[in-house]
Amino acid sequence: MAGALSPTDAESLRGLVAGVSEAVEARIRGEESAGEQVRRVTQAVQIAGMGAPEYWLSQLLQPLKSVCISMAQEMKLLPLVKEQGTKCISAEDMAKQTGYDALLISRVMRTLTNVGLCEEAGHNTYRSSQVSQIVASTGGMAGVKVACLSAISGRPKCFC
């Protein structure tokens, strides 16, 4: 468990949280570039709240997350979760429908829940989220293929 923040660090974190509220209000008003402002300030809150070492470790794991997203797409897991709507589906049920091992599915899904692509409703049981609805759409799946292309097969010649 992390120790308490120093008074200076605590005050800095409170200031960042106030900045999140301001950025959210700007987004609500529809101000140009407010979405980027929300991203920047929430990232600053993550760094301050988690601590730089833990935040850096989470960034180092980004390639693993990309690979798991790509695997989930190839295994057809996200469309299965999306089809359930608000209902839950277990790793065991996904294994029966896809032919993949339930343990492999649960490990891939653990990473997907960590990045917010779906929600873990119980032990090895998952539910769709707003993000999974987008990722499992035709455009979302095409985006995953393009974004993960270099991670999977090396840098494509067309991007040189």
Amino acid identity at 125: T
Sequence-distant (≥ 6) Cβ neighbours of residue 19 within 8 angstroms: 41, 44
Residues 118 and 42 in one domain: no
Mind listing the pLDDT tens digit for each residue in 8-44? 888 888 999 999 999 999 999 999 999 999 989 998 9
Q: What is the C-alpha to C-alpha distance for residues 52 and 106, in angstroms, rounded to an integer?
A: 29
Q: What is the C-alpha to C-alpha distance for residues 93 and 49, in angstroms, rounded to an integer?
A: 37
Residues 122 and 70 in one domain: yes
Check residue 153 and give its pLDDT: 56
Mean pLDDT of the chain: 85
Q: Is the pLDDT of residue 159 over 50?
A: no
Calculate mean pLDDT across residues 113-127. 89
Q: Is the pLDDT of residue 94 over 80?
A: yes
Q: Is the pLDDT of residue 155 over 90?
A: no
Q: Is the pLDDT of residue 148 over 60?
A: yes
Tell me the H-state helices in 76-122: 77-83, 91-98, 102-114
In a domain, 124, yes or no: yes
End-of-domain residue from the set 60, 84, 103: 60
Check residue 132 and give its pLDDT: 82
* Structural domain boundaries, residue 144: 62-152
Residues 113 and 134 in one domain: yes
Residues 39 and 71 in one domain: no
Q: Is the pLDDT of residue 53 over 60?
A: yes
Mind listing the pLDDT tens digit for each residue in 54-79? 888 777 777 778 888 889 988 999 88
For helices 62-74 and 102-114, what crossing angle results, to 10°?
Answer: 130
Calculate mean pLDDT across residues 81-102. 94
User: Are the C-beta atoms of 127 and 81 separated by less than 8 Å?
Assistant: yes
Would you place residue 124 in the very low, low, confident or very high pLDDT band (cuts 50, 70, 90)? very high
Residues 135 and 73 in one domain: yes
Check residue 129 and give its pLDDT: 86
Residues 127 and 114 in one domain: yes
**Whole-number CA gyration radius for the chain:** 19
